[in-house]
Amino acid sequence: MRTYGFFVLKRFGQLLIVVFLGVSATFFITHLSPLDPVEQTMGRLTRQSGFSPEAQEAMRAALTELYGTDKPLLEQFYSFWSRLVRGDMGPSLLAFPTPALRLVKRALPWTVGLLTTTVLITWTVGNLLGGLAGYFQNSRLLKAFGVFAIGVQPIPYYIVAFIMLILFGFLWPVLPISGGAGMFVEPGWNIHYALSIVHHSILPASSIVVVGLGTWFLGMRALVSNVVTEDYVTYAEFGGVESRKIVGSYVIRNAMIPQLTALAMVLGGVFSGTIITEEVFSYPGVGTLLIDAVNAGDYTLVLAVTSISIATVATAIFVIDLLYPLLDPRVRVR
Amino acid sequence: MKMKTLTGALVLAFAATGLWGQIGGLPREESLIIQNPEGAPSNPGCFNLWWGCGGGWSTGLHQLALDTFWYIDPNAGVDGVIHNSLAAGPPEYNDDFSEMTVFLRQGIYWSDGVEFTSADVVYTVESQIEHPGATWSGAFSTNVESVQAIDDYTVRFILKAPNSRFQSVFSVRWNAAWIIPKHIFENEDPTTFEFNPPVSLGPYTLHSYDPNGSWHIWERRPDWERTTVAEFGMPAPRYAIYRHGIPTDRRLIEMVNGDLDMIHDLTPEGTFSIVKQDETAQGWFPGFPYAHPDPTLPAVVFNTQNEKFQDKRVRWALALMLDAQTMSLASYRGAATFSAIQVPPTGLHPDDYHEPMQDWLETFTIEAGGKTFQPYDPEVTLRIAETVRRQFDGVPEDEQAIRRSFGYGWWAQNLEAAALLLEDAGFEKQGNNWYMPNGERFTVELGYSAEGVMSRLGSIIVQQWIQAGVDATSRTDPQLWDQMFMGEFDAQIGWSVETWGGHPDLSFFLDSWHSEFVAEPGARQPARNWQRWSHPDLDRIIEEIRTIDFNDPRGVELGQEFVRLTVEEMPTIPIMSYNVFSVQSNRYWTNFPTSENNYANPVTNWANGRYILNLIEPASR
């Protein structure tokens, strides 16, 4: 138990280092970007307005002071970490002086809700069908599904999403094609809003599932195809063990380990959002927020999104590392 | 069976909650649904645009809920180009334009029942000056020495220096300095206050908004008669719904499905498609080219601080290498509106500039290699119309109508004259390649956006220059505009000319072209003289404009003088207006503005589009 505790502590230390290095790298990359948030704000304000050159200069000087972009980079770096350890990510420059964290908190539930649901659906169904297809290789139904998966998987996601949008939003317009919920529906914990969210998520979620299912299916089928040739499976079959038990306890369970690692990685990545889904269906989420922030040179907001993403991916891997010995008896802590 | 029951229950549940349609419980026939091109605001619950805070501008807020002194229409306007909105009349200046007095309308009320008075104006100016970084802080702090409320309905601005165009700060083109409700803001920190819900001075007030930024809904005020648009009648829609951030392809679907009434813009192809598919859809022109020409003039902007482009003969040679018809077909599929002069061919400008200057343009000559050329081709737009007539319906037949929609003419491609001009400038041609006087190859890197009609335009210009012997290359860096501001470019498809549109005064862009604002090489150039070009005659014109009244007829004469100077000097190659393919559906509402009924600009994000709501009518009427 002491050994396991030391292992946990060591991995936790690594986690902290990874997060610090990842967030710091993002800080320097965003701050070395040629995009100047002051100029981006100036562009938005002056693009179509009649500000005189003198007024523009006065504005530029005031914004530079407000945003603190004239300070040395190391001073900004120190200030950033001082704030971050207190849970303050600073004001968004795109929506100054609104706290960046507030914008992320508003967008995050949509992304996490949509992606967690779709990832879990695709992972469960894809792996289950893939596992069965790998074991019952003569099943016509599973073969047909394999053909479907191979057919759909190479199609770019954007195309699939757009085809679904045309089918169910234009040719047979039965599903809403934009937004996270209907207009005129009071947001909150009520049945109208909940149904509206489900209704609006059908198309974006289906598009992700249709494309994502094939990846898990094909991966699992390949893994199982290798496992079924193992001696212990052959031995179990000769020993008269039930097929259901062989598939569930011997084959899929063993093939599941790498899929579980991949699931953790994908779930961690959920916090980065799905930019294309959000763009195609005007679905709210952090992906669009991140793109807008990058285009506007709003590095505070970029840092807020990426810091959360880095921390969650690193934490997901940390948790999986801790769970591995429990899932796979072959892995033992030395 | 269980599955069917479950599906049926879900369908019924959705139907019962009234969520099947896009607008749920709102009465469709009383709602105008408008696409806002601004994109989803990052902080949709913020309405304090005097500070920013990410709430968005054209969410309906600056079109329907805010107000200021004057509106200048880019077209003819509802009742003349200038509408005295919160001001009772035009501004009154003293003799040397160092003071501006504004008499305010009486009987105008904020939506919470408080009367609008001069105290609101004084508060607006003083609070903006007190908070550097606020949206209009620079505009006020550089101009205003003090502002006084003479009485409840009279305001006097004491200016730091004479400025005959100070009223432009309060004149709406796309926007202007909006008046702040003093009684709301004076008890708040204006830098963090979100102004939610906003107290409105316009005819609509906030009904609801999507916390995720997809839409804002505005409802007509019961006391709309106490707002400045009341003189044009009651705004017809009870609800105005602004939907943000809809991709181009989906706009088309949404309109066909009846979920959009006004589209800000489509691609040319999208427009041609929707007017065929949906008989209720209309553009600005009744037929081809459909698009509304914005008072913005896309041009080849040269960096005249670069040695290569300092000689006007070189700039002219590059202009004469271009073929208008090829550019039109490549960029707008023929739906371009050309302008050979530095004024956009839109709004009322053709009456003040293009039409009266035709004779001068037709007789204008350039000298090259001892020969004289007349470069202007008044027939080219007629030929373009003939070409597209074979492909599209509704191309006008009447010559005047063609000139209004395709432009009055452009420069004829003349490779001989271009070559002689370059030779006069010391260039030498070896084979089909031009070399500069210093012996180096004549290279031009043209920057343009990576997609859209401007990308197509830039690409065809590069091809034509290459064919004429220039080593032309393309650049589509996402930071193009920033590089142009810093002077780090050869040439770029951009626009340094933007006008009021409906009013002939050119100071909106021209004042910033004065040589006093030209930045040193490597330093940032303030908007809008991106070409960093200066000329003593230009300074003289600008300085005289500064001394005359906004409505002085001498302004047009000076404007025409500016046009003649820039034709001779060609500091940029003006090409065409920025044509916006705005589309409206007549399914639920009719009487949207058109070229024949040009009372407003049909684009949806300009604040002066507010009058459209007063003039449209229910289709069922």
Give per-residue pLDDT as tens, B421-433.
999 999 999 999 9
- Residue A227 in any domain: the answer is yes
Neighbours of A91 (CB within 10 A): 22
- For chain B, how many residues are written? 621
A184 and A211 in a single domain? The answer is yes
B306-358: per-residue pLDDT in tens? 999 999 999 999 999 999 999 999 999 999 999 999 999 998 999 999 999 99
- Residue A26 in any domain: the answer is no
A167 and A54 in a single domain? The answer is no
Residues above pLDDT 70, as percent of chain B = 96
Contact list in A for residue B26 (CB cut-off 8 A) is 183-184
Among A88, A121, A150, where does a domain finish?
A88
Q: Domain range spanning residue A60?
A: 37-88
pTM equals 0.88
Query: CA-to-CA distance for B319 and B421, rounded, in angstroms?
Result: 11
Query: Which pLDDT score is estimated for B54?
Result: 87
Would strands B371-373 and B366-368 be described as parallel, antiparallel, or unpaired? antiparallel
Query: Which pLDDT score is estimated for B270?
Result: 92
- Residue B274 in any domain: the answer is no
Average pLDDT for residues B387-391, to the nearest whole number? 91
**Cα torsion for B580, B295, A46, A99, to the nearest 10°?**
-20
Partnered with residue B241 across adjacent β-strands are B33, B217
Average pLDDT for residues B131-160, to the nearest whole number? 94
Distance from CA of A129 to the nearest CA of B (A): 20
Neighbours of B357 (CB within 10 A): 20
Neighbours of B352 (CB within 10 A): 19
Distance from CA of A193 to the nearest CA of B (A): 9
Above 80 in pLDDT, residue B452?
Answer: yes
Q: Work out the pLDDT band at A272, boundaries 50, 70, 90.
A: low
- Residue B361 in any domain: the answer is yes
Read off the DSSP letter of residue B620. Answer: T
A112 and A199 in a single domain? The answer is yes
A76 and A113 in a single domain? The answer is no
Q: Residue B289: is the preceding peptide bond cis (ω within 30°)? A: yes
Given an 8 Å threshold on Cβ–Cβ distance, is A92 in contact with B210?
no
Distance from CA of B55 to the nearest CA of A (A): 7
Least confident of A37-41, B13-17, B66-70: B13-17
- Residue A274 in any domain: the answer is yes
- Residue B482 in any domain: the answer is yes
Q: Domain range spanning residue B358?
A: 296-576
Please report the sign of the dihedral spanned by the C-alpha atoms of residue B221, residue B227, residue B229, residue B232: positive
Would strands B154-159 and B144-151 be described as parallel, antiparallel, or unpaired? antiparallel
Residues 6+ apart with CB under 8 A from B508: A50, B168, B173, B498, B499, B500
Query: Which pLDDT score is estimated for A1?
Result: 61
Residues 6+ apart with CB under 8 A from B318: B300, B418, B444, B465, B470, B491, B573
- Pick the residue from chain B with its C-alpha nearest to A108: B212
Given an 8 Å threshold on Cβ–Cβ distance, is A179 in contact with B215?
yes
- Residue A199 in any domain: the answer is yes
Q: How many domains does chain A have?
A: 2
Given an 8 Å threshold on Cβ–Cβ distance, is A280 in contact with B247?
yes
- Residue B64 in any domain: the answer is no
Average pLDDT for residues A206-222, to the nearest whole number? 88
Above 50 in pLDDT, residue B219?
Answer: yes
- Residue B313 in any domain: the answer is yes
Above 90 in pLDDT, residue B401?
Answer: yes
- Residue B85 in any domain: the answer is no
Query: CA-to-CA distance for B17 and B6, rounded, in angstroms?
Result: 17
Given an 8 Å threshold on Cβ–Cβ distance, is A52 in contact with B142?
yes
**DSSP H helical ranges for B430-575:** 453-467, 480-485, 507-510, 536-546, 554-569
Please report the sign of the dihedral spanned by the C-alpha atoms of residue B318, residue B319, residue B321, residue B325: positive
A242 and A299 in a single domain? The answer is yes
Looking at every residue in chain B, the average pLDDT score rounds to: 93
Q: Which of B24, B53, B171 sits opposite A95 (nearest CB)?
A: B53
Contact list in B for residue A279 (CB cut-off 8 A) is 247
**Cα torsion for A129, A132, A133, A139, to the nearest 10°?**
-110
A143 and A241 in a single domain? The answer is yes
A153 and A228 in a single domain? The answer is yes
- Pick the residue from chain A with its C-alpha nearest to B47: A95
CATH number assigned to the domain comprising residue A296: 1.10.3720.10
A112 and A180 in a single domain? The answer is yes
* HEC secondary structure over A70-88: CCCHHHHHHHHHHHHCCCC
Given an 8 Å threshold on Cβ–Cβ distance, is A66 in contact with B133?
yes
Q: Are A148 and A323 in contact (CB under 8 A)?
A: no
Contact list in B for residue A57 (CB cut-off 8 A) is 138, 526
Count of CB contacts below 8 A, A vs B?
186
Q: Work out the pLDDT band at B476, boundaries 50, 70, 90.
A: very high
Neighbours of B441 (CB within 10 A): 12
A246 and A269 in a single domain? The answer is yes
CATH number assigned to the domain comprising residue B361: 3.10.105.10
Query: Which pLDDT score is estimated for B621?
Result: 57
Which residue, B349, B354, B356, B403, is CA-closest to B380? B403
Q: Work out the pLDDT band at B20, boundaries 50, 70, 90.
A: very low
Which residue, B30, B73, B502, B89, is CA-closest to B239? B30
Would strands B443-447 and B491-494 be described as parallel, antiparallel, or unpaired? parallel
Q: Work out the pLDDT band at B150, boundaries 50, 70, 90.
A: very high
- Pick the residue from chain B with its C-alpha nearest to A62: B133
- Pick the residue from chain B with its C-alpha nearest to A294: B478
Contact list in B for residue A280 (CB cut-off 8 A) is 247
Query: CA-to-CA distance for B48 and A97, rounded, in angstroms?
Result: 11
Q: Are B83 and B173 in contact (CB under 8 A)?
A: no
Given an 8 Å threshold on Cβ–Cβ distance, is B133 in contact with A288?
no
Q: Which of B43, B137, B192 sits opposite A103 (nearest CB)?
A: B43
Given an 8 Å threshold on Cβ–Cβ distance, is B19 in contact with A66?
no
A77 and A222 in a single domain? The answer is no
- Pick the residue from chain A with its C-alpha nearest to B213: A284
A84 and A233 in a single domain? The answer is no
Would strands B70-72 and B171-172 be described as parallel, antiparallel, or unpaired? parallel
Above 90 in pLDDT, residue A296?
Answer: no
Given an 8 Å threshold on Cβ–Cβ distance, is B526 in contact with A280?
no
Q: Which of B133, B192, B512 sits opposite A52 (nearest CB)?
A: B512
Query: Which pLDDT score is estimated for B498?
Result: 93
Give SS3 for B94: coil
A227 and A288 in a single domain? The answer is yes
- Residue B568 in any domain: the answer is yes
- Residue B264 in any domain: the answer is no
Q: How many domains does chain B have?
A: 1
Token pair, residue B524, equals: 């940032």
Q: Work out the pLDDT band at B367, boundaries 50, 70, 90.
A: very high
Query: CA-to-CA distance for B200 and B223, rounded, in angstroms?
Result: 11
Q: Are B184 and B199 in contact (CB under 8 A)?
A: yes
Distance from CA of A226 to the nearest CA of B (A): 36
Average pLDDT for residues B528-548, to the nearest whole number? 95
Given an 8 Å threshold on Cβ–Cβ distance, is A96 in contact with B52?
yes
